[in-house]
Structure 1
Amino acid sequence: MNVISYTPFQDPESLYALNETLLEAEDLRGLNMLMSFTGYSDAGHVVHQIATELSEHLPAEPVAIFDIDQLVDYRSRRPRMTFTEDHLSDYRPPSLVLYRFIDALGKPFLFLTGSEPDLQWERFTLAVLGLVRRLDVNLTAWVHSVPMPVPHTRPIGATVHGNRPDLIEGISAWKTTLEIPSMIGHVLEYRLAKENRNVVGYAIHVPHYLSDAEYPPAAVAGLEYLGAAAALMLPSERLREAGRAVERQIAEQVESSADVQAVVANLEKQYDDHSDGTARRSLLAGDGDELPDADELGAAVEAYLASRDAGSADGTGPGIG
């Protein structure tokens, strides 16, 4: 069966507005581009933390602003508002923007960030590819996060993918073959690779039992991977300090429950068994490299999930005990 190539009914360039003033004043060609999108999987709030850290600590200016009304289904992903006593005090609409940032050493880079489109993926992909060509982007590096049955007591792992072996080999903790639900980042990576554009993606592994809470150590890992790939000095000190505080809270909660300690020990054994001479195998895989089903994954963290409610309800922290 022949695959039909997509031809947009509307010009992809009409999907965004360019900052012509910035483009006239500064040559943005040949820069590296980072990407992160919220809306699908953001275990440990990694993408949110990274975007917040960059926007609060580095100077930025928009290069292209996408028409979010054409891309987001508001009723399936309703924007957040703040109700204060007797009035609405804040509205946080979705956005999707390509920025020019300056890192801590004065090096410019591009950052495409915001809400993952619900609609018009093909047209949006063509629009981004057009910007990549126009700006002759050197390397595209993107990050997202996934919940994994791994212990918080071991180094943060990542599944790395793309077409740059020097940025992949020796890093990825998961090498297997399977079908996955795609994110817009996956589609962009696939199309960029088809055009022989340098691209690399990092899926940060977040302990399953911490995936619903902010987990700063995973965000720090994401920043480190992105910074190393794009040769950038990215801010992470505040997240490192927050991570140390979170880890102390987790340690205290683990110490208070023998059941939780047992689950952590089992996860540590599984991690260590796959990190000696067989680190290339999936941390999810069994002896025959088959992937466990959802019931097996759920059983690995069932004790955590059952004990989280008390900690989450009183606001004492990540809530694992």
Structure 2
Amino acid sequence: MAHGNGFLGGRLLVVAFEGWNDAGEAATGAVRTLQELLALNEIAAVDPELYFDYQFNRPTISANDEGKREIEWPGAVMYGPEAPGIASIPLAEDAQLQISGTNAGNIYLLVGTEPSRSWKSFAAEILDAALAADVSGMVFLGAMLADVPHTRPISIFVSSDNPSVRAELQIERSNYEGPVGILSVLSDAAETVGIPTLSIWASVPHYVHNAPSPKAVLALIDKLEEIIDVVIPRGDLVSEAAEWETGINALAADDDEMAAYIAQLEQARDTVDSPEASGEAIAHEFEQYLRKRGDGRDGRDGWADGRPAGDGPG
């Protein structure tokens, strides 16, 4: 990947939201993994009263470390390093538990719940905070449910609407047209004020949509590590991803219909991934998907031109 004064040359805000953009909790899972590994402070938070319908996104109550019961409200919080641009030097015992690399001190995070209303005002508030922090690029993480098998590598699509970013990172532009979520709104607002953006989307098997997908979290982190030029410790994610796959295998072993369906998905995926697969064959596979899944149901946005469109990748 390119360096210098390009997309990787400044402060990068990595963004994920619970809700429509977060199948298998993969996107927020990836950002929360980064949050655990980085020494970051809260630098901005939205007022939930302005943006959330509490009957749709209900607050939760739990006990804190002191045993006191506290209510947690839906919202969105931005985190940033104490000393931007300076990568922390891990202690010897923590060397495997912290993000490293020349870009590690330039990572900011934004994580929260997709707002229920006032998206334009929400985007303006987020962009004001990003500009105040001198953020120079935004990376949006998303995950959608798709007709893909859990036994194969998680499909990842990287895109950008910014010509300079596409040229620098050799990525594509999404051709998706249709309903979008808050990621597309924020991306459009960022590009309008001069902050370049890119999107990284993971495809999560739709037949396991009720459970978190550590395999998709791992796939997003793998691609994010490559894009933003840092080394991200995987912790227990590798073993958790293997256990997730093993657990689904066990379920399928007791369900002939599910096993047959997964076998069909595997065959379709292997056909698309084979060296002999032509552009026409690949296009045909995803045209079939569009006809079946183009309504954006089940918490995903659909695919376009053989690419996960989701919340407007890019």
Deviation per CA, 1:230-277, whole angstroms, max 9, x where unpaired? Answer: 223333222212111111222223233333221111111222333333
Q: 1: distance between equivalents of 2:129 and 2:68?
A: 38
* Residues 82 and 98 of structure 1: CA distance in aligned 2, closer, same or farther (over 3 Å): closer
* Secondary structure, aligned partner of 1:154: coil
* Secondary structure, aligned partner of 1:237: coil
Tell me which amino acid in the other structure corresponds to 1:274.
V
Contact 1:193 1:199 in 2 (8 A): yes
Tell me which amino acid in the other structure corresponds to 1:284.
F
* Residues 253 and 159 of structure 1: CA distance in aligned 2, closer, same or farther (over 3 Å): same
* Secondary structure, aligned partner of 1:48: helix
Q: 1: distance between equivalents of 2:137 and 2:215?
A: 25
Mapping for residues 154-193 of structure 1, pairs under 5 Å:
154-162=152-160, 163=162, 164-165=165-166, 166-167=168-169, 169=171, 177-179=176-178, 181-193=179-191
Tell me which amino acid in the other structure corresponds to 1:32.
L
For these two proteins, the number of residue pairs brought into alignment is: 260
Cα RMSD for the two superposed structures: 3.1
Number of the residue aligned with 1:49:
29
Tell me which amino acid in the other structure corresponds to 2:77.
V
Number of the residue aligned with 2:116:
118
Offset at residue 48 of structure 1 (A): 3.5
Q: 1: distance between equivalents of 2:221 and 2:132?
A: 26
Mapping for residues 1-321 of structure 1, pairs under 5 Å:
30-82=10-62, 89-101=69-81, 104-105=99-100, 107-108=104-105, 109-162=107-160, 163=162, 164-165=165-166, 166-167=168-169, 169=171, 177-179=176-178, 181-275=179-273, 276-278=277-279, 281=283, 284-286=286-288, 291-294=290-293
Which runs of 5 or more structure 2 residues have no equivalent in the other structure? 1-8, 82-87, 89-97, 298-314
* Residues 39 and 291 of structure 1: CA distance in aligned 2, closer, same or farther (over 3 Å): closer
* Residues 139 and 272 of structure 1: CA distance in aligned 2, closer, same or farther (over 3 Å): same
Tell me which amino acid in the other structure corresponds to 1:254.
A
- Range with greater deviation from structure 2 (229-238 or 264-273): 229-238
Q: 1: distance between equivalents of 2:156 and 2:49?
A: 33
Contact 2:18 2:25 in 1 (8 A): no
Deviation per CA, 1:96-140, whole angstroms, max 9, x where unpaired? Answer: 111014662272211111122222211222222233333332321
Give the TM-score taking structure 1 as reference length.
0.71
Identity %: 24
Q: 1: distance between equivalents of 2:32 and 2:296?
A: 31
Offset at residue 88 of structure 1 (A): 9.3
Contact 1:142 1:185 in 2 (8 A): yes
Tell me which amino acid in the other structure corresponds to 1:44.
G
* Residues 140 and 220 of structure 1: CA distance in aligned 2, closer, same or farther (over 3 Å): same
* Residues 284 and 79 of structure 1: CA distance in aligned 2, closer, same or farther (over 3 Å): farther
- Range with greater deviation from structure 2 (158-167 or 219-228): 158-167
Number of the residue aligned with 1:18:
none
- Range with greater deviation from structure 2 (88-97 or 54-63): 88-97
Offset at residue 198 of structure 1 (A): 2.1
Give the TM-score taking structure 2 as reference length.
0.72
Deviation per CA, 1:125-169, whole angstroms, max 9, x where unpaired? Answer: 222223333333232101111000011121111233212224463
Offset at residue 295 of structure 1 (A): 10
Point out the structure with max Rg over C-alpha. 1
User: Which has the higher relative contact order, 1 or 2, with Cα contacts under 8 A spaced 6 or more apart?
Assistant: 2
Which runs of 5 or more structure 1 residues have no equivalent in the other structure? 1-28, 299-321
Tell me which amino acid in the other structure corresponds to 1:277.
S
* Secondary structure, aligned partner of 1:32: strand
Tell me which amino acid in the other structure corresponds to 1:93.
W
Deviation per CA, 1:6-46, whole angstroms, max 9, x where unpaired? Answer: xxxxxxxxxxxxxxxxxxxxxxx931110111132421111
